[in-house]
A and B are shown apart, each in its own frame.
Chain A
Amino acid sequence: MSYVLAKSQNDDIHKAGECGGAVTSILKYLLDEEIVDGVLALSPQNDVYDATPTFITESDDLLSAAGSYHCAPTMIGDLVQKYLFDKKVAITVKPCDMRAVEELIIRHKINRDNIYLIGLNCGGTVSPVSGRKMIDLFYEADPDDVVSEEIDKGKFIIELADGSEEAVKIHDLEEEGYGRRNNCQRCDVKIPRKANIACGNWGAEDGWTFIEINDEKGQELIDGAKKAGILETKNPAQGAIDGREKVEGIMIKMAKKVQDATYPTVSEMDEWSRCISCYACRDVCPICWCFENCELNKPYFKDEQNIPPTPIAFQGVRLSHMSFSCVDCGQCDDVCPMDIPVSLIFDKLQKKYFNRTGYVAGVSDDIKPPLYSPEKTEL
């Protein structure tokens, strides 16, 4: 593991990038040298609230995808397994994306040899709906006038067309029930160290991207992009490395505080009593990959008459299949029409499993036998 500061040698990319445009430059290098068939990143559509995963095959199209989209709580793990299994792809991943990819690799649903994971550190994402509401309520701006947003030093900052900026402390927004999604507030994986590289603004100087190189493949990416003349690097000062580590530590501590405060308060049976068995939470979950073969569709569990479904025979079954691998991406909360905090319940079980085994979904190198391994150990 080693650290570099990096920035693009291409002015357009440097300008368009969130930090030093290093990520976009590396993606361009991979496309131009035909090392990958395509890149899976996010592209904004009409406004800053609707960036969507896009498969990019022409490096000219990378420019419009540059930047960080905080109001785009997307998940790419299942896209890779469903649509890109045989392709060589580079993927920009937040920690939860990376963790889902790792869990799918374990399940032989993604081939590690086919992918480059370009990690983005993540302090959290905001739901586009509550993001708009929150700008309406806490800022002097019309949500439609926002041209860009960023999260910096604990503040959610918006920029308007006339170049003016407004910032509100995330802590204050969250006190009022806005700000980052609930799962992000308790997410304790902030730097994606299973990705080939982890990029971020923590520890970076203005106009540079701080990169933690996690493995050999990551080193090859940096060396290749430099050789191609598109990336410039320098060594970060020790102070920057320490500072970054400190912020990470603080973020993790805050997340654990939220975990401790929320796990005991959730009343599962009350929550499940609102469930209408729409299966949306299962369908969106990146770890649930069985599709038509899902056990919940088998005649012995399928029960369309009974709403709410018997919790133990519905969510209990899904929990037993995959909660130990839940990456707390929050997708299930986002889609539940009954506002059930599904991810909280699954993540709580994952943490129980962690306490027994030390297994962190999508992060651990299988340090303890997961549920179905032939290992001869008891818990």
Chain B
Amino acid sequence: MADDLKIVGLLCNWCCYGGADTAGTARMQYSPNIRIIRVMCSGRINPSMIFKAFQDGADGVFVGGCHIGDCHYDAGNYKWSRRSKIVEDILEEFGIEKERFRHEWISASEGEKFQKTMEEFHNTLTKLGPLEL
């Protein structure tokens, strides 16, 4: 059931979390399936966190960080972007479709991009259905 889809979102404090906030304050509509966890920087996110989310029932995991060049801590998003590749490589071997894992750079002012990304991700996951591990 599409409405039961669980999305875990790991959003960096300085950009994407702000973007989600902007979307919220502007009352932009998007599906309410995402559970947002705020982290200080995308560079803080380990592959294990993504895997833990899937283990505990997430159907999709979203990571949002600052645009390249804008990371509050200088290079955190570079680290995350390299790490994300290994997450993709591993998921592929574990029968988890790579579309269930997505990451985007979204600034605090890009409420619309956040809304659009969430809608797209929700559509993708609706097509894939719930994740069976």
User: Hey, which bits of chain A sit against chain B, CB under 8 A?
Assistant: 268-269, 295, 300-301, 310-313, 316-317, 319-321, 323-324, 345, 348-349, 352-353, 356, 369, 371-379
Contacts and interface: CB of A to CB of B under 8 A. Distances in A.
Contact of B86 (A310, A311, A371): A371
A374 B90 CA distance: 22
B129 interface: no
A349 to B, nearest CB: 6
Say what secondary structure dominates the interface of chain B: helix
Contact of B51 (A268, A316, A372, A375): A316
B75 interface: yes
A310 B55 contact: yes
B88 to A, nearest CB: 10
Contact of A379 (B46, B48, B55, B82): B82
A316 B83 CA distance: 14
B3 interface: no
Contacts of A352: 89
Contacts of A301: 48, 52
B82 to A, nearest CB: 5
A324 B82 CA distance: 12
A378 B51 contact: no
11 contacts: A301-B52, A312-B54, A312-B133, A313-B54, A316-B90, A316-B94, A317-B48, A320-B51, A349-B89, A356-B85, A379-B85
Nearest to B87: A320
Interface in B83-114: 83, 85-87, 89-91, 93-96
B68 interface: yes
Closest 4 CB pairs of A and B: A320-B47, A313-B55, A268-B93, A312-B94
Interface string B42-64: 00001110011011000000000
Q: Interface range on chain B: under 10, 10 to 19, 20 to 34, or 35 or more?
A: 20 to 34
A324 B83 CA distance: 11
B43 to A, nearest CB: 9
A294 to B, nearest CB: 11
B78 interface: yes
Say what secondary structure dominates the interface of chain A: helix
A268 B94 contact: yes
B2 to A, nearest CB: 23
Given A269-B94, A311-B133, A316-B94, 8 more contacts: A312-B133, A313-B52, A316-B90, A317-B47, A319-B93, A321-B48, A352-B89, A378-B81
B55 A312 contact: yes
Choose among A295, A345, A374 the residue with the greatest number of B CB atoms under 10 Å from its CB.
Answer: A374
B94 A320 contact: no
Contact of A320 (B46, B79, B95, B133): B46
Contacts of A369: 82
A377 B79 CA distance: 8
A377 B78 contact: yes
